[in-house]
Amino acid sequence: MNFNRRFFSLVLTFFCSFSLAPVVHAQQDNLIDTIKKRGKLQVGFASFVPWAMRDKQGNWVGFEIDVSNKVAQDLGVRLELIPTAWDAIIPSLIAGKFDVIIGGLTITPQRQEQVDFTTPYSTSGQGVAASKQLAANLKWPEGYNSPNVTFTCRRGVAGCKTVEEKWPKATLRQFDDDAIAFQEVINGNAHAVISSEPKPSFFVIRNSDKLFKPTNENIVNTFEGFGLRKGNTAGLAGFNEWINKNQAWLKQRHQYWFRTQDWAGLVPSI
Amino acid sequence: MQTVGRRLGVDDAVIPARAAPPATRLAWNRLDLLWVVVVAALLGAGMLKSQGAFSYRWDWSSVWPYFVKTDVLTGQWAPNLLLQGLMTTLRLALWGMLIATLVGLVMGWMRNHARLLLRMVASAYVMTVRNIPPVVFVFIFVYFISNQFMPFLALDQRVSALPVEVQLFLSFLFGPMELINNFFLGLVCLSVFSGAYVTEIVRAGSDSVPRGQTEAARSLGMTNLDIMIRVVWPQALRNVLPSLTGQFIQLIKDSSLVSLVSIQELSFMAQDVQVSTQRVFEVFVLTAVIYFCICFTLSQVFAYLERRHGRAY
């Protein structure tokens, strides 16, 4: 089933771009105008700490939610949040289920073939949490480049690619869910897990008897952009302008969600 | 005439030969006791062993608020994500069963129709759906097929034009109106998928009713529709109730598949709660218990119906 899902979301992404061309084309005039005419900005995203999470009241909170709210506010329209399964996020965009992905989508060359990215509105780094039981004696980073070392990651995130590039000999196991990828390392079934910060740091703090951080530096710095359907230059320009205008605000919100834990009370047990 | 008569005779002998199930009585012997002890010991040993390998701090307290919350505005109890998801799943299940049954009846009838075209349409439907893995079907349906009709239906816009009372009533039936597109998409997908299996059950049920019944009804001058509704299906229903139960339970479990395409039912909400609370296994266990309760209740209802209908004829 996992294979099916991965494979078919790829194939579908590919086919969507052709078979839905007429449907999508109608909306390609000028995305910003379409949104304003509709009076509603539809944003696609997936839940991921601290980008977008449900607080104890069941409401959405997080960095992406702040950004989406401000975009909608500045456009003078209502915001419609469309939570989407991570695996299906790019096919859903192409199929026209929403206007834009504001979902911590890291800009990668592979994704650029399927979607248009705005200029980065956020930067984040990948971090590693390793098992004290298995990896305590491994030398960082070269000791991890061995077939005996197992990395875990959430399938489809940029970190999986990093492992393949930096530790090509290591075994990589991919999971649907980040929390399970971490749990495997806590259980001592894998040596290390890669994920975007601050999650690895949080997990190390909460499971200090089982996990440690081999390095406190970010392994790779990544940039995130809004994802749009291909070929909408006017829409792209509109969002780029918004991002450039709000750099200071974005930085301040980013600081709040990624560098502090002031929001920890919103969500249980983080 | 003679053949018909003979056939009728044979079939008649088959129909009433449905014996009541033997009465069961609970009686324990030593061997049973031994089995219970062995199973309990194995389970206990397994649990002890897994505690060493599976180091996980169970913490249920952070999951409960996602069932029922105390609303900050009103200070009253209100359903939170998991309960909302459960309601969506129940609505999907109930409407799904209804629509899948309707689809199944029509398609099952077409599958046995004298016209070749109708037979071919129905069997093409069944063969296509049945021979594609469910996950793939869901993806194809949502990204290719639904895009051909969902934008034209524009359900959410139509609904928002309705009077408030009607909207309230609709949201009782179909859930929150702002998610009506989302719900409807999941419902259609699930019904089309399950309908194919119900079609085969309907066909098997119709086949299980002896031809003599149809012929006798026709000789009395009943129309085709009358024959189906008054003669064939009532008898078929009794024969297919067990397999229909299985299919309906399957439908409820399949409803979790549409979470892949972001239909906000129980599994999807559970995923959100998992990510937000980081309590993966607690949420898994809870979700499993909920699905079990729904499916078990349904199978009990059908078991009751089976007992009743077993006596009715």
Chain B residues with CB under 8 Å of A87 CB are 260
Q: Where in chain A is the domain with CATH 3.40.190.10?
A: 2-121+225-266, 125-221
Given a cut of 70, whether residue A28 has pLDDT beyond it is no
Given a cut of 60, whether residue A133 has pLDDT beyond it is yes
Nearest alpha-carbon partner for B269 in B261, B279, B258, B259: B259
Task: Name residue, tokens 């771009």.
Answer: A17
Chain B touched by A231 (CB under 8 Å): no
Strand partners, A128: A194
Looking at domain A125-221, its CATH superfamily turns out to be: Periplasmic binding protein-like II (3.40.190.10)
Chain B touched by A264 (CB under 8 Å): no
Average pLDDT score, chain A: 85
Measured between alpha carbons, how far is B7 from B210 in angstroms, rounded to an integer?
9
Task: Summarize the confidence of residues A261-265 as an average pLDDT.
Answer: 80
Chain A touched by B135 (CB under 8 Å): yes
Query: Given this model, what pLDDT does residue B77 score?
Result: 87
Chain B residues with CB under 8 Å of A56 CB are 65-66, 69
Which pTM value belongs to this model? 0.79
Candidates B276, B277, B279, B283, partner chain A, best to mutate (most A CBs within 10 A): B276
Q: Any idea which of A61-65, A158-162, A216-220, B8-12 has the lowest mean pLDDT?
A: B8-12
Query: Given this model, what pLDDT does residue B12 score?
Result: 47
Q: Which whole-number Å values give the CA distances from B291 to A92, A249, B253, in the listed order?
A: 28, 44, 7
Looking at domain A2-121+225-266, its CATH superfamily turns out to be: Periplasmic binding protein-like II (3.40.190.10)
> Between vectors from CA A111 to CA A108 and to CA A115, what angle results, nearest 5°?
125
Query: Given this model, what pLDDT does residue A153 score?
Result: 92
Question: Three-class SS string for B187-202?
Answer: HHHHHHHHHHHHHHHH
Chain B touched by A188 (CB under 8 Å): yes
Digit-by-digit pLDDT tens for chain B (313 residues) are: 444 444 444 444 444 445 555 656 677 788 888 999 999 999 998 888 776 666 677 788 888 888 888 887 888 888 889 999 999 999 999 999 999 999 999 999 999 888 999 999 999 999 999 999 999 999 999 888 888 888 788 888 888 888 888 988 998 899 888 888 889 999 999 999 999 999 999 999 999 999 999 999 999 999 988 998 999 999 998 889 999 999 999 999 999 999 988 889 999 999 989 888 878 888 989 999 999 999 999 999 999 988 887 654 4
Does B272 contact A49 at a Cβ distance shorter than 8 Å?
Answer: no
Query: Given this model, what pLDDT does residue A176 score?
Result: 84
Chain A residues with CB under 8 Å of B49 CB are none
What is the token pair recorded at B181? 């597109």
Task: Summarize the confidence of residues A178-207 as an average pLDDT.
Answer: 87
Burial (CB count within 10 angstroms: exposed 0-12, middle 13-18, buried 19+), residue B40: exposed
Task: Summarize the confidence of residues A64-86 as an average pLDDT.
Answer: 94
Taking only the tens place, the pLDDT of each residue in A111-129 is 999 999 999 999 888 889 9
Candidates B143, B157, B182, B260, partner chain A, best to mutate (most A CBs within 10 A): B143
β-pairing, A122-131 with A211-212?
antiparallel
Does B139 contact A12 at a Cβ distance shorter than 8 Å?
Answer: yes
Query: Given this model, what pLDDT does residue B20 score?
Result: 58
In the A/B pair of chains, how many CB contacts fall below 8 A? 115
Phi, psi for residue A61 in degrees, rounded to 5 = -135, 165
Max Cα-Cα span within chain A: 60
Do B130 and B196 contact (CB within 8 A), yes or no? yes
Do B92 and B255 contact (CB within 8 A), yes or no? yes
Does A57 contact B80 at a Cβ distance shorter than 8 Å?
Answer: yes
What is the token pair recorded at B35? 């089995």
* More reliable by pLDDT, B66 or A262: B66
Measured between alpha carbons, how far is A200 from A192 in angstroms, rounded to an integer?
10
